[in-house]
């Protein structure tokens, strides 16, 4: 619950991706975002972040961690030992974070830091020691998934994680159905049912369940996963009104 609240506290509009308990690993794999919304003004950035969460009054422990970093101990190992965030299991990785996807204090901290820099900030959740691993231009907002869906040269796997009853209400041709409610039925065979080396596009109603799926696929070794922020609801409202809304 912490990680969902922490990274979704600022997410009130449909084009922001909420984070989920199973975050992606800090690896060459990535979860991108197709934001079905109008592009915002100016170039957008996103940063790949790890953090160690402590209680606000644990200043001595923070100093201890910094001393160990100075001695060359790996940040991820320290996160696994010290961090109070569930992301400790992933070495503190929060994956790629864009503006608007986290609480203001944390956002200000990570976007003010240079790649490779460690910094600190305090939020309502406690004191964070943050490592900004790298930055890149954010996936641009688009009005449609058309380029991914219609380009014959684009070898994309399309995954819909909604319930069967939802597909009866609204669907987009070409998507394979992997309902999250049936996770236990396909969890162990997903890498056989789909090709981990192909670009994989994940869709749900509003973009939250599909982000969970995207993070799960990354954890299973998929190398290029795209989440549709806002889901089929945003796609219907902003790109293809012929798709029913529900």
Q: Which of 44, 90, 32 is nearest to 211 (CA)?
A: 32
Please give the full DSSP string across 46-76, using - where no structure is assigned: EEEEEEEEE-TT-HHHHHHHHHHHHTT--HH
Provide the Cα torsion 175, 235, 152, 227; round to 10°: -70
Catalytically active residues are 204
What is each CA distance from 24 to 31, 153, 217, in whole angstroms? 8, 28, 9
C-alpha distances out from residue 74 to 21, 68, 92, 145, Å: 23, 8, 11, 39
State residue 45 phi and psi, 5-degree precision.
Answer: -125, 160
**Inter-residue contact 214 to 157 (CB < 8 Å):** no
Between CA 118 and CA 62 the distance in angstroms is: 12
Q: Rounded to the nearest 5°, which phi and psi values hold at 137?
A: -70, 135
> How is residue 110 written in tokens?
């990570």
CA angle 234, 238, 244 (to 5 degrees): 65
| Distance (Å) of CA 58 to CA 13, 83, 87, 131 | 35, 11, 19, 18
């Amino acid at each position: 619950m912490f990680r969902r609240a922490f990274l979704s506290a600022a997410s009130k509009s449909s084009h922001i991706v909420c984070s989920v308990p199973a975050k992606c690993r800090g690896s060459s794999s990535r979860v991108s975002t197709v934001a079905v919304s109008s592009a915002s003004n100016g170039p957008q950035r996103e940063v790949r972040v790890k953090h160690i969460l402590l209680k606000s009054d644990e200043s001595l422990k923070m100093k201890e961690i910094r001393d160990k970093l100075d001695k060359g101990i790996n940040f991820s190992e320290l996160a696994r030992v010290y961090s109070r965030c569930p992301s400790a299991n992933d070495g503190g990785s929060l994956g790629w974070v864009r503006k608007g996807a986290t609480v203001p204090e944390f956002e200000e901290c990570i976007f003010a830091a240079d790649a490779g820099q460690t910094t600190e900030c305090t939020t309502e959740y406690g004191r964070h020691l943050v490592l900004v691993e790298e930055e890149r231009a954010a996936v641009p907002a688009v009005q449609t998934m058309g380029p991914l869906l219609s380009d014959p040269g684009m070898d994309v796997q399309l995954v819909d994680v909604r319930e069967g009853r939802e597909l009866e209400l609204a669907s987009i041709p070409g998507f394979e159905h992997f309902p999250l409610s049936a996770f236990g039925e396909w969890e162990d065979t997903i890498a056989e049912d789909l090709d981990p080396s192909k670009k994989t596009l994940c869709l749900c109603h509003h973009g939250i369940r599909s982000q969970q799926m995207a993070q799960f696929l990354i954890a299973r070794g998929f190398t290029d996963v795209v989440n549709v922020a806002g889901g089929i609801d945003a796609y219907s409202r902003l790109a293809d009104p012929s798709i029913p809304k529900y």
